[in-house]
Structure 1
Amino acid sequence: MSRDEYRTLTPWSFFLPVSLAVMLGVLVANALGAALFDHDDAPAGPAAAAAVEAGEPADAADGSGPAPAAGEAKKAEADKAMPVLAPVNLPGPSSARRDGETRACIGGTIAVRADNGWEQEVVGDAPARCTASSR
């Protein structure tokens, strides 16, 4: 490419093809995702969508099946709820290291002393919460 050809290039000559390629890639990825991964948990139809907004089960809205009792629905919802644990009061990392503590509060989560630093303590796929206290 000669020097004159570089002068004729504009910023749009690079931006437009790249943005078109990105948009086309997103559309293809969405189409493949919809085709390969079936979403059976999503309600189908306008009656089911209205039932979800109203808080009713989808079967009760379209009349296709028996609706579960209100007690059963509340029990299932309660089973899904995660227990709320009160945050533990621990020293910060500097105080814990100085005092020889094995646990510290770093960034609002519990950290456990490792060989070469700190590791985050995890409870049920989530970091354990804490509050830092200075001594």
Structure 2
Amino acid sequence: MTNDVYPKKFKLSEDLEPMIDKMFAVGCSFQHWLPLHSIYKEHNYDEKTLVLLRRLAANDRVLPCRDDLIAEMLNRNGVASSYCGDLALYDGDIIGSKFEPPSKVKSIAVTIQHKRKFLSQ
């Protein structure tokens, strides 16, 4: 997550307040157009983003993170977090079966890109 992800970049809802206590993070990531180790050591979140991250962390005691650098950065910023790895969900009935593309795409999920040229999106 980066500063201003909500509500400026991704407006999940008009008002998260009624539902935030029912939201559980499954893997916190960090996107930066220049993913150097030093970025993780130097990055500080703005207060609005910290409030959101801390509220999400409180729902499950910690935010699960994709790697140690993210967990260290969040903890340094006062957000309870721990390394859990990069979560992947598998359906045992589907593994090994032939790929069947959907006839119609119902929705699309968007993530923040790591390259500067995508910042305007």
Instruction: Using structure 2 for the length normalisation, give the TM-score.
Output: 0.22
Instruction: Using structure 1 for the length normalisation, give the TM-score.
Output: 0.20
Larger Rg: 1 or 2?
A: 1
Bigger relative contact order, structure 1 or 2 (CA pairs below 8 A, ≥6 apart): 2
**Larger strand proportion of the pair:** 1
